């Protein structure tokens, strides 16, 4: 399997499959492909289907297998970036709901529960995220541009709501309140920040779709 990412801020990942190789995606995510690539749709059991639905993903996955060599492409749903992240048995990946685009290899995914309830309800990253483990590649859809950091043990990154796209499972997540009444009321940053603590790799996104939606809504005339 080989891949390349084209398209600047309207990206497409183009994956060249050898005969017998398979790539997986959410139902409806494929953009185009060559003849000779066959699709099989699977749910993977009620537990996994329910888990994907809990994280706002499609209950079914499509598996595309090449009977002969060919290319298959997956396009980003909005302007942004695509990142290919390697997952290994000793380095699982945790991603924000909506970030999954496609995957390749021997991977398993499950719902990732935040250890602290407050993190889920107030952190802005969602109480339920998704963890990928095994051996393979996960292709992520990033809102806006992607910014990556390697955190050392104990090193922290303070993140505003929605800007976390993915992190190593070795990282921990917590929520802190913004200090100072004036900061809360007039700072425009909300009540809470998400704090990621290393060690591990962190991927941030510059234009969360939730922030984009709020910005656009402010410029849409209301109908009376």
Whether residue 224 is contained in a domain is answered as: no
Whether residue 148 is contained in a domain is answered as: yes
What was the pLDDT predicted at 111?
83
Predicted TM-score (pTM) of this structure: 0.81
What residue numbers bound the domain in which 109 lies? Answer: 2-217
Whether residue 69 is contained in a domain is answered as: yes
What was the pLDDT predicted at 183?
44
CATH number at residue 161: 3.60.160.10
Whether residue 222 is contained in a domain is answered as: no
What total of structural domains would you count in the chain? Answer: 1
Whether residue 213 is contained in a domain is answered as: yes
Whether residue 13 is contained in a domain is answered as: yes
Mean of pLDDT values over 99-112: 91
Tens of pLDDT, residue by residue over 163-222, are 999 999 999 988 777 654 544 444 445 567 788 999 999 999 998 766 655 555 665 776
What was the pLDDT predicted at 95?
93
Exposure string over 129-138, b if 16+ CB within 10 A, otherwise e: bbbbbeebbb
Tens of pLDDT, residue by residue over 146-169, are 999 999 999 999 998 789 999 999
What was the pLDDT predicted at 168?
96
182 burial level (CB within 10 Å; 0-12, 13-18, 19+) = exposed
What was the pLDDT predicted at 186?
42
Angle at 145 between CA 104 and CA 211, to 5 degrees: 110
What was the pLDDT predicted at 194?
83
Whether residue 223 is contained in a domain is answered as: no
Tens of pLDDT, residue by residue over 62-100, are 999 999 999 999 998 888 999 999 999 999 999 988 889
What was the pLDDT predicted at 77?
86
Whether residue 206 is contained in a domain is answered as: yes
């Amino acid at each position: 399997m080989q891949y390349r990412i084209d398209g600047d801020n309207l990206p497409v990942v183009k994956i060249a499959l050898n005969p017998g190789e398979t790539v997986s995606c959410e139902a409806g995510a494929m953009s185009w492909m060559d003849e000779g690539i066959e699709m099989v749709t699977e749910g993977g059991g009620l537990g996994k289907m329910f888990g994907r639905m809990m994280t706002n993903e499609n209950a079914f996955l499509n598996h595309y297998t090449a009977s002969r060599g060919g290319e298959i492409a997956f396009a980003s749903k909005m302007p942004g970036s695509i990142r290919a992240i390697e997952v290994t048995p000793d380095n699982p990946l945790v991603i924000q709901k909506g970030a999954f685009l496609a995957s390749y290899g021997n991977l398993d995914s499950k719902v990732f529960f935040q250890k602290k309830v407050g993190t889920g309800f107030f952190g802005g990253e969602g109480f339920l995220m998704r963890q990928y483990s095994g051996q393979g590649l996960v292709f992520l859809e990033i809102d806006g541009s992607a910014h990556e950091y390697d955190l050392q043990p104990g090193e922290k990154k303070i993140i505003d709501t929605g800007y976390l796209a993915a992190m190593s499972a070795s990282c921990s997540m917590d929520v802190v309140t913004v200090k100072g009444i004036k900061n809360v009321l007039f700072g425009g940053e909300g009540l809470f920040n998400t704090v990621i603590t290393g060690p591990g790799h962190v991927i941030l996104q510059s234009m969360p779709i939730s922030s984009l939606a709020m910005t656009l809504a402010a410029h849409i005339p209301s109908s009376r």
